[in-house]
Amino acid sequence: MSKETKATGRVVKSTGSWYQVELPKTGETIQARIRGKFRLGGKKLTNPVAVGDWVEMNIDTAENTGMIINILERKNFVVRQSPRQKHHLHLMAANIDLALLIVTVVEPKLKQGFIDRFLLLTEPRDIPVLICFNKCDLYSEEDLLIAEYLSSLYREIGYDSLIVSATKKIKTDQLKLKLKGKTTLVTGQSGVGKSTLLNTLQSGLNIKTGDLSDYTGKGQHTTTFAELHKLDENTHIIDTPGIKTLSYNNLEVMDVTHNFREFFQVSDRCRFNNCSHRNEPGCAVKEAVEKGSISELRYQNYLIILDEIEDQNYWERHTDY
């Protein structure tokens, strides 16, 4: 006859309908499912529970499986529009201290706008971000100048950055030190060397690595599900599947406006309170771009994102389903 006991644990892996929950006292991992529906701000979620969540569950002691009945209050979380269901949100991780965004200038070629798109996921939650330019051993002189320019650009507006090589172990010790004592979400576009870099930081992780597609020159997914790995007693990383694209069906124009941090800092000098920093007269952001104190590159990425959001919203309102 099965008996139930209650327990609280941390979700360390998400595999679709099942979650692996680690019990802090024993270190034992329980396979668990969820009971009921969980939403986020009224929005539907493709994965109601995130790696990093602390949950309460009932454990069937005979089957040694659990049923998640409650999610404890989150310190923070990172959420994106679902890549498969545009009207749903997808939780990437919860309760993190740092987000490590891994990019590279070459193999695959950098789409710089991706950095700004990712920062829109972390900025609303005040989550610190470390932008890591990987594969620097493959950079030409021009590539290195691009990496150094972008690294400087983001440091100037308050985002930490490093230029590293996983294969040559260039500045990987510095990177490991920056992760020390933190729970870090690790992400990036497919093919940037995320898995190789993580294996370099900690021997024994054995995270599967992959090659670029010969056909597209882009990365192929090697991480299928989000998973928490322990580097030492107080240092954890949450490895996530590579991101191909980031869209923002879930955002409005002012959500973007308020979360380009250097724009927001000068926006109180705009003539209009609801200035979108495009065609309005007396715009302090446009003035700062013209003077060079705000990056033209960031501003152009900002405009592209606004156009995409407005186009999506237009078709949502004018399309019959």
Q: Are 233 and 111 members of one domain?
A: yes
What confidence score (pLDDT) does residue 318 get?
41
300 found inside a domain: yes
Q: Are 216 and 130 members of one domain?
A: yes
Query: How far apart, in whole angstroms, are the C-alpha atoms of residue 104 and residue 91?
Result: 24
Beta carbons within 10 angstroms of residue 228's beta carbon: 20
Among residues 103, 108, 105, 171, the alpha carbon closest in space to that of 140 is found at 105
Q: Are 88 and 235 members of one domain?
A: yes
Beta carbons within 10 angstroms of residue 48's beta carbon: 17
244 found inside a domain: no
What confidence score (pLDDT) does residue 192 get?
94
- The CATH number of residue 281's host domain is 1.10.40.50
Query: How far apart, in whole angstroms, are the C-alpha atoms of residue 290 and residue 281?
Result: 14
Q: Are 132 and 25 members of one domain?
A: no
170 found inside a domain: yes
Q: Are 21 and 159 members of one domain?
A: no
Identity at 195, one-letter amino acid code: S
Query: How far apart, in whole angstroms, are the C-alpha atoms of residue 117 and residue 244?
Result: 12
Among residues 302, 274, 264, the alpha carbon closest in space to that of 113 is found at 302
Q: Are 231 and 105 members of one domain?
A: yes
- Mean pLDDT, consecutive 10-residue stretches, the chain (321 aa), reads 84 90 93 79 81 96 92 94 80 96 95 93 96 98 98 98 97 97 95 92 73 42 75 94 82 94 97 96 98 97 94 51 34
Q: Are 99 and 213 members of one domain?
A: yes
Let me know how many helices (H) and strands (E) the chain has, helices first.
Answer: 8, 13
What confidence score (pLDDT) does residue 311 get?
83
Q: Are 152 and 64 members of one domain?
A: no
The answer for residues whose C-beta is within 8 angstroms of residue 215's C-beta and 6 or more apart is none
What confidence score (pLDDT) does residue 3 get?
77
Q: Are 120 and 194 members of one domain?
A: yes
What confidence score (pLDDT) does residue 209 get?
63
Query: How far apart, in whole angstroms, are the C-alpha atoms of residue 304 and residue 138?
Result: 30
Range(s) of the domain holding residue 276: 253-318
- The CATH number of residue 20's host domain is 2.40.50.140
What confidence score (pLDDT) does residue 205 get?
78
Q: Are 92 and 45 members of one domain?
A: no
Query: How far apart, in whole angstroms, are the C-alpha atoms of residue 198 and residue 270?
Result: 44
| E-only strand ranges, the chain | 4-14, 19-22, 29-34, 54-60, 65-71, 77-81, 89-94, 98-104, 129-134, 160-163, 183-188, 227-232, 235-239
What confidence score (pLDDT) does residue 41 get?
66
Q: Are 281 and 206 members of one domain?
A: no
Query: Domain end: 71, 88, 106, which one?
Result: 71
Q: Are 148 and 235 members of one domain?
A: yes
Query: Domain end: 16, 41, 71, which one?
Result: 71
245 found inside a domain: no
What confidence score (pLDDT) does residue 247 get?
82
- The CATH number of residue 85's host domain is 3.40.50.300
Indicate the DSSP class of residue 40: B
What confidence score (pLDDT) does residue 215 get?
37
Domain count, the chain: 3
Supply 100's token pair.
């490590």
